[in-house]
């Protein structure tokens, strides 16, 4: 197969949702359809979400690096589909956001009973900013949930995106009788035996079951209304993330999945170009191999210091043992140890193409955002990955004052790696750490102890709203208060940490001349 054809058949997406919406279940079922696993229930990685954070550490230690590596490839209809999980719960961190930088589309899973939940919204915003196509899977139709029109309306108003239902449910809960497929205008009936396959936590909870006839009649009427009055189909809008194709189904009972996959491969983009620091796009079909690192998975086992750096191949072809240059240092190296994740196991990568995600074994060479290139292309460097606005903050210091040097070296490296964000107080230079998820602090503490031999003392200062300042020159000392605390970021930009929304609004009203902004 030619390079171009290999690349054209690749589709790389992130799966996003609020915890418990059914992301893991849907992933399992997608893999099942792709024939990647023989029976569902073997998806690694996610179950970590069910542990408390301390358990996560233990699991990491026991099983090494694999637990949270959550990238998988499967085949479907001649396509090679790369699916990237975005950890939630206590695992939520900046990595979750950065994962979205490495994909070309996103699949948003929504629990039909709950609608849009906070974490979905956060992740959606990052997708939106990137202008990537977003596909919506409304899950758990086998239970009573919100009415389909209500859900569409919620998506449209909360996320400001148009919707285009590709399927339409016939009833729900105990009266879930099937889905209407808009593409081939056929009804796929929900079979009784599918009902039986539902696991133990499935309860029949429809208060007033309606008859099959009644459900079909309503569904057909609704479907006609959608066709008449709904948003028009527009491929360009899908491509730009302005219109989301919507699917209804039940991941647990493997219903609505095939309809979803069928349409997904039709409309999801092939690997897209990425911009360099200089602003030039690198096309996926360029001959030279290029890629960037978007996530570094530390091994929590102190006996095994090696880490796994996740790289998105941006252009060309990666082959095992090839020479690649790390753009930041200019150093050339042979890349021999790379892995790719299939559902059942990891495999050594012999070759990978633009769009693929591979894990490189790392002994501390790579940083988040690093560019690698080789195979003939000239020197390039991809643009930096965005920094995200942290929400949680902690004061941190070394327990033992004699260990200051180790302490600062550790912080520097972990910050560079993107594990945590670094701030300090204005005059006293007291280090402050910022994170989007609590887990980042725990990983920081653990790694400082294990890798830099430094015990740290952490003092939570809680949730804050961080706002950067466009016109820093207009800042006055008097604006610094406990409710609008001025600190410095790692580049010495001044940042306000506001106590809450109220304090932010109050400040903006009192000092309208100060132009505040947030990172992503």
Residues of each annotated binding site for GTP: 17-24, 85-89, 139-142
Dihedral over alpha carbons 88, 89, 90, 95 (to 10 degrees): 10
Identify the bridge partners of residue 353 per DSSP, sorted by sequence position. Answer: 317
Nearer to ligand GDP, 201 or 492 (CB): 201
Tokens of 11: 């589709």
- The DSSP letter of residue 195 is H
Closest CB to ligand GDP among residues 22, 390: 22
Q: Does residue 84 bind ligand GDP (CB under 6 A)?
A: no
Binding site: what residues are annotated? Answer: 17-24, 85-89, 139-142
Widest distance between CA atoms in the chain: 78
Report residue 244: phi and psi, to 5°: -110, 125
Told to check if 22 binds ligand GDP by CB under 6 A, we report yes
Output 203 or 474, the one with its CB closest to ligand GDP.
203
- Spell out where 355-475 has E strands: 357-362, 371-374, 392-398, 421-425, 431-435, 456-463, 465-469
User: From the CB of 258, what's the least distance to ligand GDP, in Å?
Assistant: 15
State the minimum distance, in angstroms, from the CB of residue 252 to ligand GDP. Answer: 3
Confirm if 294 and 269 have CB atoms less than 8 A apart: no
Using the rule CB under 6 A, is 30 a contact of ligand GDP? Answer: no
List residues bridging with 422 in a β-sheet. 433
Instruction: Note whether 105 binds ligand GDP by CB under 6 A.
Output: no
Q: Taking a C-beta distance cutoff of 8 angstroms, is the pair 179, 162 a contact?
A: no
Q: What residues numbered 175-204 form the site for ligand GDP, per CB under 6 A?
A: 201-202
Q: Is 51 in the site for ligand GDP (CB under 6 A)?
A: no
- For the bound state, the minimum distance from the C-beta of residue 199 to ligand GDP, rounded and expressed in Å, comes to 6
Chosen residue from 21, 110, 126, 398 binding ligand GDP by CB under 6 A:
21
Identify the H or E element spanning 298. none
Q: How far apart are CA 132 and CA 399, in angstroms?
A: 45
Alpha-carbon gap, residue 155 to 138, rounded angstroms: 11
Out of 20, 117, 212, 231, the residue judged to bind ligand GDP by CB under 6 A: 20
> How buried is residue 406: exposed, middle or buried, by Cβ count under 10 Å (0-12/13-18/19+)?
middle
When asked if residue 86 is in the footprint of ligand GDP (CB under 6 A), the reply is no
Shortest distance (Å) from residue 108 CB to ligand GDP: 11
Nearest to 30 by CA among 63, 77, 69: 77
Q: Indicate the residue among 25 and 181 with the shorter CB distance to ligand GDP.
A: 25
Nearer to ligand GDP, 10 or 140 (CB): 140
| Residue 99 in the binding site for ligand GDP (CB under 6 A) | no
What is the rounded end-to-end Cα distance, in angstroms, of the chain? 40
Binding mask 219-258 for ligand GDP (x = CB under 6 A): -------------------------------xxx------
Number of residues that bind ligand GDP (CB under 6 A): 19
Does 119 sit near ligand GDP (CB under 6 A)? no
Of 145 and 245, nearer to ligand GDP (C-beta) is 145
Binding of ligand GDP at residue 19 (CB under 6 A)?
Answer: yes
Site for ligand GDP in 120-159 (CB under 6 A): 139-140, 142-143
For residue 465, give every residue at least 6 positions away whose Cβ sits within 8 Å of its Cβ, in sequence order, or none.
391, 497, 498, 499, 500, 501, 503, 504, 518
Give me the least distance between CB of 215 and ligand GDP, in Å please. Answer: 18
Q: How far is the CB of 49 from ligand GDP (least distance, A)?
A: 6
Q: Is 465 in the site for ligand GDP (CB under 6 A)?
A: no
Which residue, 37, 259, 270, 34, is CA-closest to 138?
A: 259
CB within 8 Å of 222: residues ≥ 6 apart: 148, 149, 168
Q: d(Cα 240, Cα 43) in Å, to the nearest integer?
A: 31
Binding site for ligand GDP (CB under 6 A): 17, 19-25, 46, 49, 139-140, 142-143, 201-202, 250-252
């Amino acid at each position: 197969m030619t390079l171009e054809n290999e690349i054209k058949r690749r589709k790389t997406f992130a799966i996003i949702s609020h915890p418990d919406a059914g992301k893991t279940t849907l992933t399992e079922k997608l893999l099942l359809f792709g024939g990647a696993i023989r029976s569902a229930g073997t998806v690694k990685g996610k179950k970590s979400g069910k542990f408390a954070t301390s358990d996560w550490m233990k699991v990491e230690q026991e099983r090494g690096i694999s637990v949270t590596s959550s990238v998988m490839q499967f085949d479907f209809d001649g396509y090679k589909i790369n699916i990237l999980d975005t950890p939630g719960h206590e695992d939520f961190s900046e990595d979750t956001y950065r994962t979205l930088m490495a994909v070309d589309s996103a699949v948003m899973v929504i629990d039909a009973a709950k609608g849009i939940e906070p974490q979905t919204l956060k992740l959606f915003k990052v997708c939106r900013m990137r202008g990537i196509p977003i596909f919506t899977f409304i899950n758990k139709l086998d239970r009573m949930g919100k009415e389909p029109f209500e859900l569409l309306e919620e998506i449209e108003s909360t996320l400001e995106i148009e919707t285009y239902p590709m399927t339409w449910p016939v009833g729900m809960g105990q009266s879930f009788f099937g889905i209407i497929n808009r593409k081939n205008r056929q009804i796929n009936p929900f079979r009784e035996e599918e009902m039986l396959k539902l696991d133990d936590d499935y309860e029949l909870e429809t208060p007033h079951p309606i008859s099959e006839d009644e459900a079909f009649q309503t569904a057909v009427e609704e479907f006609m209304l959608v066709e008449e009055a709904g948003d028009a189909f527009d491929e360009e809008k899908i491509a730009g993330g302005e219109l989301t194709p919507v699917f209804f189904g039940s991941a647990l009972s493997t219903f609505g999945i095939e309809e979803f996959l069928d349409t997904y491969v039709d409309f999801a983009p092939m690997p897209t170009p990425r911009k360099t620091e200089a602003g030039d796009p690198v096309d996926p079909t360029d001959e030279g191999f290029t890629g960037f690192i978007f996530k570094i998975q530390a091994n929590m086992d102190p006996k095994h210091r090696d880490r796994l750096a996740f790289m998105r191949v941006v252009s060309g072809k990666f082959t095992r043992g090839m020479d690649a240059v790390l753009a930041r240092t200019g150093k050339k190296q042979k890349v021999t140890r790379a892995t790719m994740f299939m559902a059942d196991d990891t495999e050594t990568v012999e070759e990978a193409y633009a769009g693929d995600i591979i894990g490189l074994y790392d002994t501390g060479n790579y940083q988040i955002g690093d560019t690698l290139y080789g195979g003939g292309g000239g020197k390039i460097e991809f643009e930096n990955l965005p920094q995200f606005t942290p929400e949680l903050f902690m004061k941190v210091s070394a327990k033992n004052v004699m260990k200051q040097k180790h302490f600062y070296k550790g912080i520097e490296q972990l910050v560079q790696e993107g594990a945590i964000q670094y701030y300090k107080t204005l005059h006293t230079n007291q280090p402050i750490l910022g994170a989007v998820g609590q887990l980042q602090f725990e990983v920081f503490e653990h790694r400082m102890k294990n890798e830099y031999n430094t015990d740290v003392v952490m003092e939570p200062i809680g949730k804050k709203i961080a706002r950067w300042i466009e016109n820093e020159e207009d800042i006055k000392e008097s604006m610094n208060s406990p409710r609008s605390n001025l600190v410095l970021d790692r580049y010495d930009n001044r940042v306000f940490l506001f106590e809450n929304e109220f304090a932010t609004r109050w400040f903006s009203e009192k000092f309208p001349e100060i132009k505040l902004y947030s990172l992503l």
